[in-house]
Amino acid sequence: MGGHQMLLLEQQKNDKKWLTRKTKPDLVVNPDRIIRSVELFAGAGGLSLGLSEYCRRVGFRHKIEFAAEWNEDIMDVFLTNNSPTTYSTSSVDQMFDGKLKLGRRLTKIEKSFVKEHPHAMNPDVLMGGPPCQGHSNHNNYTRRTDDRNKLYLRMVRAAQVLKPSTVIIENVRDVEKSEGDEVNIATKHLEKMGYHVDHKVLCAAHYGVAQMRYRHFLIASNKANPEFHQLLDLKVNKNRSVLWA
């Protein structure tokens, strides 16, 4: 057996041990570094889990300042696994209801949000997975024209209000085919706000997940250019099966 195969087997063994553990892994905290995040369209908290695990691996604390998910049952799942400073089950488009025009004043509702959740301002990361049904190829009724597609741009408005350092928007692979052109509109607005923006489709199977799930990620940063090539260099375990999982 070659060295590469041995490495993959050891990695699978370690991953299985991590995935089946009954307690959370230890956190070695660097007291000088806290990653503050806001998650909109939070669902059960998949993005927060990923960010928390990254922070754990590098020894940082992760603090979820605010989370929004309109489905109360799903928010209960989120709260079971996370402890956000505050949260809401209101619709995101009701919380961030202003127009996208640069320099647009905050609406009364947005001013109220800022007053109620000052801790959510200037987070390190604003992230969210807006509804994807209207972009999915499995939707034969409202594909590309679904009104929910417009919720993608509420992430941009939230960035205008909250002023995060980094924005991450996750969606299905075909979001770029929407008739509303949301990805290009979001990119242009974020660039006008001073962000460096890039987007790419990534496959979960390339990163050790036993599922051929493709997802589109838009990343914007006011600190540096997003570097997707670093992720592409990390491709591993392309052939993990559902049986393994």
| Active site (catalytic) residues | 132
* Helix residue spans in 36-97 (DSSP H): 46-58, 72-81, 92-95
Beta-strand ranges (E) seen in the chain are 34-40, 61-68, 86-88, 125-128, 166-172, 196-203, 214-221
The number of helix segments (H) and strand segments (E) in the chain equals 8, 7
Amino acid making up residue 74: I
Half-sphere exposure of 12 (CA within 13 A, CB side): 15
Nearest CA to 204 out of 183, 231, 177 is that of: 231
